[in-house]
Chains A and B, each alone.
Chain A
Amino acid sequence: KAGVTQTPRYLIKTRGQQVTLSCSPISGHRSVSWYQQTPGQGLQFLFEYFSETQRNKGNFPGRFSGRQFSNSRSEMNVSTLELGDSALYLCASSLRGGSSYEQYFGPGTRLTVT
């Protein structure tokens, strides 16, 4: 089985711009979660999508949004980028999500905001 893929792998943006990141889960997995990882804050949960519906949301401002398509692929959007948004963005897929199933992480998208 192919693993979780994320595109692009690296991205450089300017403050004020917006960005869209993409995640393709493992075939058959219906849950996709997004995390922000920074050296100082660890793994911060952004949101989880299951069957095209946002099931859980972390404590991030409304500039962070996401969606999931019928094929379970997911996108994450960040509008009006700030310097503090520079981070590694990881997506993780799971068979059914929630807390009972292990998550499989993608390689991440390294976002740098200048």
Chain B
Amino acid sequence: GQQVMQIPQYQHVQEGEDFTTYCNSSTTLSNIQWYKQRPGGHPVFLIQLVKSGEVKKQKRLTFQFGEAKKNSSLHITATQTTDVGTYFCAAGGYQKVTFGTGTKLQVIP
């Protein structure tokens, strides 16, 4: 079945540093979604990417979908303490979504 890996598993950054998490699929995807889960909370939808090579920005967050539609990345510029949480990618296949393993981000003030 479809496998979705995210790296790194954990990341500690100083406040103000940048952060990137990568999502890799073993198969070509129809789309990719990103979610954020704050500590003690539930996953919250951030964005969906559909087109090959697509890049979308939300304030300090930049999302990319690979040209081959097999990988994606989320980049946060100048992290803040409010960025703390676990970031999940969710790979869209045929009628099914597979969540990645998640990257837990800690921001040191």
Cα–Cα, bound, A107→B37 (Å): 11
A98 near B99: Cβ-Cβ < 8 Å: no
Chain A positions within 8 Å of B102 at CB level: 42-43
Q: Which of B29-62 contact A (CB under 8 A)?
A: 30-31, 33, 35, 41-45, 48
Residues on the A chain within 8 Å of B95, using CB: 55-56, 97-99
Q: Helix, strand, loop or mixed for chain B's interface? A: strand
Binary contact track A47-68/B, C-beta < 8 Å → 1, others 0: 0100000011000000000000
Instruction: State the interface size on chain A (CB cutoff 8 A).
Output: 21
**In the complex, are the beta carbons of A43 and B97 less than 8 A apart?**
no
* Stretch of B17-25, B71-79, B86-94 with 4 or more beta carbons under 8 angstroms from chain A: B86-94
| 26 A–B contacts, CB within 8 A, in A order | A35-B99, A42-B88, A42-B101, A43-B88, A43-B99, A45-B96, A45-B97, A45-B98, A45-B99, A55-B95, A56-B95, A56-B96, A92-B43, A98-B92, A98-B95, A99-B30, A99-B31, A99-B93, A100-B30, A102-B33, A102-B48, A103-B33, A103-B43, A103-B97, A104-B45, A107-B41
Ranked nearest first, the 6 interchain pairs of A and B with the lowest CB-CB distance are: A99-B92, A102-B45, A105-B42, A43-B99, A98-B95, A42-B101
